[in-house]
A and B are shown apart, each in its own frame.
Chain A
């Protein structure tokens, strides 16, 4: 006969307000197998836990039911208390009297009766509980950081500085990301490249960081501490070891009319190229889609001029498989393109550009060497209109959210423009100015008060061309919606921040969740902001939601700290609530028939095949086996198993039926 103790919590008035707790305690005492039952105001408090521990010792309890809140809240608290008093923690269960009863019912007899029933159910479960031991899994102390922008660089540096190995994977030929394209950064107006490039170099030179540029994550298997990751190292067609980075091939390449991605299409680059002068690594890559040699087999100039013979036309993509302990996603964002705006000319007006293009125009390393010239005729624009919320907070364009960075960078743009074109006038159409951040609002006020940007509150409804000017039609909602028309020389759209095109595929490759906009989902919006729901995979930067640089860097460091904490242990402890295949001895008696329906059903790829062999090594049966490191205890396999050969530890069929039978 069991010796079970029932501890009913009032939770202040949360439970006791509608449930008669002393009555529940009294009714519980009458359940067969219960030898002790009390109620108390706050069971989770220190005295409450002491009460449980002392009762376990005094009454020699072998099972505990705490009738209180949801197990999501305090199950660890009470299981720890039970363990301290010598009871296996998995013999301590919680009856949820708060979320499942007191909060959702009126105060009356029936509510108290339901509470008593919930306790009865859990007592029955405890009777069928078996002691479980947490699962230990080893940890591979190498981290994979996906994305080489500022988020990934920061994360990689922090993990590497903590003494662990990092593989930094970047899909383009150089690390640096969007930040390397920016001219200046808000709210200090310091040069973006000047503050970023030292970090890029540091990442490249760090002995603990292995840089893999022009590479993409192809496949991810395994589980926390034990991932197996396959990375596709795309062929650069250049032998990185032999290449000295002299740049002769780049200057001699005859095909120089390819729109330059780094300059957002405002300049051209050759088919063999280094994305930008401070690129890391500073070795060229052949863009095979645009290379004459790869199109028709002729040319080969780069190979002829290369003094070290580093050109490798025959080089193939490489697939590299690595053991990885933790993964940090830092894949960043993309900007909505101007062709998404029919009302602003469908991207057909050359002088209607997006924010990143303006960054390139203002950048000293840009196509105009930092002189503001409009793309159509290279003239200096005397009136520039900036339109905030271009596509953001626009349900019709599928982006109801705020892109967060545009208010600030638009203010910055007006300042950069005024600093370069003193007689110019910047107009900003905005809906709200969202400048929450240290020194942010002051920065926006500076743009308005010192650099004379004129802010007009209202959205622009249309832009059209007339006599070489762009007519911008809006309204001023601070003047009773008075229509405003501005003849502009150039218009800059602060287009919406969106998730990368590849984000959904990548999320599926990694088995992490994402929201309807393709941004990766955090485990908890407040308390677990850099973790995903998949253990061992973390997030940093704008792949999760629109973020500015300070936040991205903070998140990168946060993800780095999470990885460092994970790597601080040699073994991981996991909850033993996992599926188990019936294997009573002799193994031949396994009721598993090897149909492997469970394998197809398992969302976590946790089911493996195992061969049962006889003494001579002959395979007599192939059965399912659960990898306890991967299993998340969802129970899908249990429902699928036709021979009832799989059961879930802690939630066995026997236990659940016993619970139901009491009602």
Chain B
């Protein structure tokens, strides 16, 4: 039960951070639930997108934390089905990004986030280095990061035969430019 009254104008609420980072006002959401109804992964979520938004609308630490600790925010694929259909034009994936980043920063991200994050990072490494997706590099990187060394190994021969696993990366021409983009957006590794 909440006891303190916190106001949205307070700058340290998640809602205020969302507003500062994306320009989206949480007050726009009127809790119709269309996002949750259309979300392809909402059935797997402990908190559906609209529930996350409802928590943030309060602007109270307790509810902010509940949102940040949820596993659901990590399952969001940013497929944008929700924001495409949202009657109030709330861009939920952008909000999810802010919540996830904040959860990581505070070290309260759900354990489920580990593998998901490992995959994200492996993917970004691949893009940073080659300018595109380098499958074997990505797989190796992900396995190192996640520790799931033997998982799905039996798929590799089949994929190789069908030409889905190139041994060497295909580099793009402007890899230097890509690296500069990474540097500009992330500073060092994010």
- Contacts from A to B (Cβ < 8 Å): 383, 423, 425, 445, 448-449, 452, 454, 457, 476, 478-479, 483-487
Contacts and interface: CB of A to CB of B under 8 A. Distances in A.
B22 to A, nearest CB: 15
Nearest to A448: B27
Given A478-B54, A479-B51, A479-B55, A452 B5 contact: no
B28 interface: yes
Contact of B9 (A445, A452, A476, A483): A452
A478 B57 CA distance: 11
Given A449-B28, A454-B58, A487 B5 contact: yes
B155 to A, nearest CB: 41
Contact of A383 (B1, B5, B59): B5
B2 interface: yes
B106 interface: no
- The secondary structure that dominates the B interface is loop
A423 B9 contact: yes
A387 B146 CA distance: 51
B31 interface: yes
Contact of B25 (A449, A478, A485): A449
B105 interface: no
Nearest to B28: A449
A454 B2 contact: no
28 contacts: A383-B5, A423-B7, A423-B9, A425-B7, A425-B8, A445-B30, A448-B27, A448-B30, A449-B25, A449-B28, A452-B7, A452-B8, A452-B9, A452-B27, A454-B57, A454-B59, A478-B31, A479-B51, A479-B54, A479-B55, A484-B1, A484-B2, A485-B1, A485-B2, A485-B3, A486-B2, A487-B4, A487-B5
Nearest to A469: B5
A245 B55 CA distance: 59
Contacts of B54: 476, 478-479
A485 B9 CA distance: 20
Contacts of A454: 8, 57-59
Interface string B1-33: 111110111000000000000000101101100
Nearest to B26: A449
B8 to A, nearest CB: 5
Q: Which 5 A-B pairs have the closest CB atoms?
A: A449-B27, A425-B7, A483-B1, A478-B31, A448-B27
Interface in B24-53: 25, 27-28, 30-31, 51
Contacts of A445: 30
A487 B7 contact: no
Interface string B150-177: 0000000000000000000000000000
B47 to A, nearest CB: 10
A574 B59 CA distance: 68
A452 B57 CA distance: 10
Contacts of B8: 425, 452, 454
A351 to B, nearest CB: 15
A153 to B, nearest CB: 37
A483 B3 CA distance: 10
Nearest to B59: A454
A454 B31 CA distance: 13
Contacts of B27: 448-449, 452
Contacts of A476: 54
A479 B63 CA distance: 11
Contacts of A487: 3-5
Nearest to A475: B1
B95 to A, nearest CB: 15
Nearest to A425: B7
Nearest to A444: B30
Nearest to B7: A425
A354 B83 CA distance: 40
Given A454-B59, A484-B2, 5 more contacts: A449-B25, A449-B27, A479-B51, A485-B2, A486-B5
A267 B98 CA distance: 51
A484 B8 CA distance: 16
A448 B9 CA distance: 13
A369 B58 CA distance: 33
A487 B27 CA distance: 21
Contacts of A479: 51, 54-55
Contacts of A423: 7, 9
A457 B31 CA distance: 10
A478 B28 CA distance: 15
A479 B51 CA distance: 7
A485 B60 CA distance: 12
Nearest to A456: B58
A2 to B, nearest CB: 69
Contact of B5 (A425, A448, A457, A483): A425
A485 to B, nearest CB: 5
- Scoring A383, A452, A483 by chain B CB atoms within 10 A of each residue's CB, the highest score goes to A452
A383 B7 CA distance: 9
Contacts of B28: 449
A454 B7 CA distance: 9
A246 to B, nearest CB: 49
A454 B1 CA distance: 17
Interface in B115-168: none
A451 to B, nearest CB: 9
Contacts of A485: 1-3
Nearest to A424: B7
A449 B28 CA distance: 6
A378 to B, nearest CB: 21
